[in-house]
Structure 1
Amino acid sequence: MSATYGSQKKDSSISHQIHGTQMSGLRDVAYANSNIENGGSGCAMWFGDLIDIRRVAANGRDAYMQDVYIRMPASEQEEKDKQKMKVIVIVVVAIAVVFGVLLILYCISKRTNFREKLENNVMIDQDIEGQSEDMEVPFFTLATIVIATNNFSSYNKLGEGGFGLVYKGTLIDGKEIAVKRLSQKSGQGLSEFENEVILIAKLQHRNLVRLLGYCIEGDEKMLIYEYMPNGSLDSFIFDQTKAKVLGWSMRFNIICGIARGLLYLHEDSRLRIIHRDLKASNILLDSKMNPKISDFGMARIFGGDQIEGNTNRVVGTYGYMAPEYAIDGLFSVKSDVFSFGILLLEIISGKKNRGSFHLDNTQNLVGHAWKLWKEGRPLELIDTCLKGSVIQLEILRCLHISFLCLQQHHNDRPNMSCVVMMLHGESSLPEPKELGFFVGKKSTSSSKNQSSSTNEITVTMLEAR
Structure 2
Amino acid sequence: MWNGLESAATVAQVVGLDVGGLISMIGQAARTARQNTKDCEHLARRVGMLAELVPRLQDPEARRALAGLDGALLEAHHLVMSCQRKGFTSQLFSASRMSERFRDVDRKIDTYLSIIPVISYIGIARRLDGNPSSRSQSLLEESGRAEDREFTLAEIVVATNNFAVVLSDDAESGTKVYKGKLHNGPEVAVKRLNRTRRGAEDAFFKEQQILSPLRHDHIVCLLGTCADDGERMLVTQYMPNGSLYDQLHGRSHLSSLSPVTASWKTRVQVLLGAARAVEHLHRHAMPLIIHGNVASSNILLDAAWAPRLSGFGASVWQAAGVTSQAVEVTAAASYGGYADPEYYSTGRIKPASDVYGLGVVMLEVLTGQPPVVSVWDEAKQDVVAMTLASFALPTIQAGMLGNVLDRRPAPQPTTWQQLQPLQLVANMAARCLCLHGDNRPAISDVIANLEQALCLI
- The TM-score, its normalising length taken from structure 1, stands at 0.60
Residue correspondence of structure 1 range 249-398 to structure 2 within 5 A: 249-317=265-333, 318=335, 319-359=337-377, 360=380, 361=384, 363-388=386-411, 391-398=418-425
SS for the counterpart of 2:359 is helix
Query: Number of residue pairs matched?
Result: 303
Residue correspondence of structure 1 range 448-463 to structure 2 within 5 A: none
SS for the counterpart of 1:385 is coil
Partner of 1:423: 450
Residue type at the aligned position of 1:306: V
**What CA distance in whole angstroms lies between the structure 2 residues aligned with 1:315 and 1:307?**
23
Range moving further from structure 2, 165-174 or 292-301: 165-174
Partner of 1:138: 149
SS for the counterpart of 2:227 is strand
Partner of 1:406: 433
Partner of 2:65: none
CA deviation string 1:406-451 (max 9, x = no partner): 001111001101111122237xxxxxxxxxxxxxxxxxxxxxxxxx
SS for the counterpart of 2:220 is coil
Q: Contact 1:163–1:187 at 8 Å: present in 2 too? A: no
- Specify whether residues 207 and 173 from structure 1 end up closer, same or farther in structure 2 by C-alpha distance, changes over 3 A only: same
CA deviation string 1:71-112 (max 9, x = no partner): xxxxxxxxxxxxxxxxxxxxxxxxx99x969979x999xx99
Q: Which consecutive unaligned segments of at least 5 residues does structure 1 have?
A: 1-95, 113-134, 427-465
Q: Which consecutive unaligned segments of at least 5 residues does structure 2 have?
A: 1-23, 33-40, 50-144
Partner of 1:59: none
Residue type at the aligned position of 1:334: A
**What CA distance in whole angstroms lies between the structure 1 residues aligned with 2:231 and 2:278?**
30
**What CA distance in whole angstroms lies between the structure 2 residues aligned with 1:394 and 1:326?**
32
2:230 pairs, out of 204, 211, 219, with 219
**What CA distance in whole angstroms lies between the structure 1 residues aligned with 2:256 and 2:424?**
21
CA deviation string 1:304-358 (max 9, x = no partner): 3333101244342421121111121111000000111011101111111211235
- Specify whether residues 240 and 382 from structure 1 end up closer, same or farther in structure 2 by C-alpha distance, changes over 3 A only: farther
Range moving further from structure 2, 314-323 or 415-424: 314-323
1:362, CA displacement in angstroms?
6.2
Residue correspondence of structure 1 range 14-25 to structure 2 within 5 A: none
Q: Contact 1:176–1:226 at 8 Å: present in 2 too? A: yes
Larger Rg: 1
Calculate the aligned-residue CA RMSD, in Å.
Answer: 2.9
**What CA distance in whole angstroms lies between the structure 2 residues aligned with 1:141 and 1:240?**
32
**What CA distance in whole angstroms lies between the structure 2 residues aligned with 1:357 and 1:397?**
26
SS for the counterpart of 2:212 is helix
Residue type at the aligned position of 2:291: H
Q: Contact 1:233–1:283 at 8 Å: present in 2 too? A: yes
- Specify whether residues 248 and 188 from structure 1 end up closer, same or farther in structure 2 by C-alpha distance, changes over 3 A only: farther
Alignment of 1:150 with 2:168, yes or no, is no
Q: Contact 1:244–1:385 at 8 Å: present in 2 too? A: no
1:230 pairs, out of 228, 234, 241, with 241
Q: Contact 1:164–1:186 at 8 Å: present in 2 too? A: no
